[in-house]
Structure 1
C-alpha cells in the first residue's frame, strides 16, 4: 500500500512540473549518449526524470547551487538505467548530495594487528546502502572523458538491491543467474589480467577493483560506449541488454552507418 501511495504522490507532483522543449533539448545536448535511445523512448525518459525529481531530495554541497539544468541532467542520467526497470528500483532511499568536482571522504581501517589507520579518500562519487548517493558535478566541458559518475553510482544502487555490492543485481525472472555469472566472471578475470599487463583496454581500470566496480563500469560503458563493450565483452553486453531492456549498440551502429553514407555522398 505504501509503495502505491508513493508512486501516486510522485506522479501527481511530476504532473505539476513544466519543462519547455527548448530546455529539455539544451540539457540533452550535453548528454550525447542519449542519442542511442530510440526516438519514441525520449518522452518516456523525460517523464521518468520528472518523477525522479519529485521523489528525491537533492542538495548541493560546498556552495554548489543546483540549477534546473543540473537537476534535469542528473535525473536523466539516473533514470536511463531504469527506463525499463522502473523507479521502484530506487525506492529505499531519497537523498542525493552533489559536490562541485571530486571530494574527500575520511576513511579508517584496522590492520591485522588491530592498529587503526585513518586517511582521506578522494572520490568522484559514492553510493551508501539505504542512504544517499554522493556525486561530483562537472560542467560538460570539464567532465572526464569516458567516465559517467551518475550512471556508475546508480548502477551501484541497483547492485544493492540484493543487499550486497557484488556485481549481481536483482535479476528479472527471465534471466538465469548462472548465465549472468557465466558472462561476467570470465570477463572480469580477463580485464584484470589485461590491466595487470598494462594493456590499454579502453575501459576504466577501476573496474578491476572488485566485481561490484566491474558491473558499475561496464554499465557506464553499456550506455556511453556500447560498441566498445559489445566488441570487447559481447557476453557481458548481451546480459546488460537483457537486464536494462535496451540495445544502445544497435542505435550507435545505425548512426555510424548513416554518418559513413553521408560522408560518401559528400565526396
Structure 2
C-alpha cells in the first residue's frame, strides 16, 4: 500500500516538472555513453530521471549551487542502472549531497591491539546504508578520467539491497547466486593479482580494494565501456547484463573500447 502511494506521489510530482528538449539534449551531450543507447531508452530514462528528482533531495556542500543541469545529469546517471529494475531499488533513502570536487571524511579504525587510529580519507564519493549518497562534482576537464562517480556510488546503493556491502546485490529470482559468485569471484581474484603485480589495467585498479568496489567499478565499465568489460571479463559482463537487464556492448560503436 505505502509503495503504491509513494509511486503515485512520485509520478504526480514528475508530471509537474518541465524540461525543454534543448535542456535534455545539452545535458545528454555531456554524457557521451548515452549517445549510443537504443532510441527507445531515451524517453524512458528522461521520465525516470524526473521521478527520481521528485522524491530525492539534492543539496550542495561548501556553498556549491546546484543548477538544473547538475540535477538532470545526476538523475540520468543514477537512473541508468535501474532503467529496467525500477526506482524502488532506491526507495529507502532520500538525500544526495554534492561537493565541489573531492572531499575528506574523518574515519577511525581499531587495530588488533584495540588501539583506535583516526585519519582523514580523501574521497570522490560515498554511499551510506540507509542514508545519503555523497558525490563530488567537477567542471569540464577537472573531472578524473575513466571514473563515473555517480554510477559507482549508486551501484553501492544497489549492493546494499541484500543488507551487506559485499559485491552481491539482491538478485532477482531468475538469477542463481551461485552463478553470480562463479563469475565474480575468479574475476576479482584475477584482477587483484594483476593490480598487485603492477599491471597498468584498463579497468580502474580501485576495483581491487574490495569485492564491493569491484562490483561498483565493473558497473561503471558496464555502462561506459561495455565492450572493454566484455573483453576483459565476459562472465562478469554476462551476469551484469542479466542483472541490469541491458546489453550496452551490443550498441557501443566498434571504435569504442574492447572487442
- TM-score band w.r.t. shorter chain: over 0.9
Q: CA deviation at 1:143?
A: 1.4
1:97–1:135 CA contact under 8 A, matched in 2: yes
Greater share of residues in helix? 1
Aligned pairs, number: 256
Q: CA deviation at 1:256?
A: 2.7
Q: Output one character per residue of 1:235-255: Cα deviation in whole Å (capped at 9) or x when no partner.
A: 000100111011111101xx3
2:98–2:136 CA contact under 8 A, matched in 1: yes
Residue in structure 1 matched with residue 254 of structure 2 by the alignment: 256
- Please say if 1:109 is aligned against 2:109: yes
- Please say if 1:219 is aligned against 2:219: yes
Residue in structure 1 matched with residue 173 of structure 2 by the alignment: 173
1:71-82 equivalences under 5 Å are 71-82=71-82
Residue in structure 2 matched with residue 29 of structure 1 by the alignment: 29
Q: CA deviation at 1:144?
A: 1.2
Q: CA deviation at 1:257?
A: 6.9
Provide the C-alpha distance between the structure 2 equivalents of 1:250 and 1:16, rounded to a whole number of angstroms.
Answer: 35
Provide the C-alpha distance between the structure 1 equivalents of 2:243 and 2:128, rounded to a whole number of angstroms.
Answer: 22
Match of 1:39, SS? coil
TM-score, normalized by length of structure 1?
A: 0.94
2:29–2:35 CA contact under 8 A, matched in 1: no
What is the alpha-carbon root mean square deviation over aligned residues? 1.1
1:100-139 equivalences under 5 Å are 100-139=100-139
Provide the C-alpha distance between the structure 1 equivalents of 2:173 and 2:116, rounded to a whole number of angstroms.
Answer: 44
Provide the C-alpha distance between the structure 2 equivalents of 1:257 and 1:216, rounded to a whole number of angstroms.
Answer: 24
Provide the C-alpha distance between the structure 2 equivalents of 1:184 and 1:36, rounded to a whole number of angstroms.
Answer: 27
1:107–1:119 CA contact under 8 A, matched in 2: yes
Runs of 4+ in structure 1 deviating by more than 6 angstroms, as ranges, are none
- Bigger radius of gyration among the two: 1
Gaps of 5+ in 2: none
1:30–1:140 CA contact under 8 A, matched in 2: no
Gaps of 5+ in 1: 259-267
Deviates more, 1:73-82 or 1:171-180: 171-180
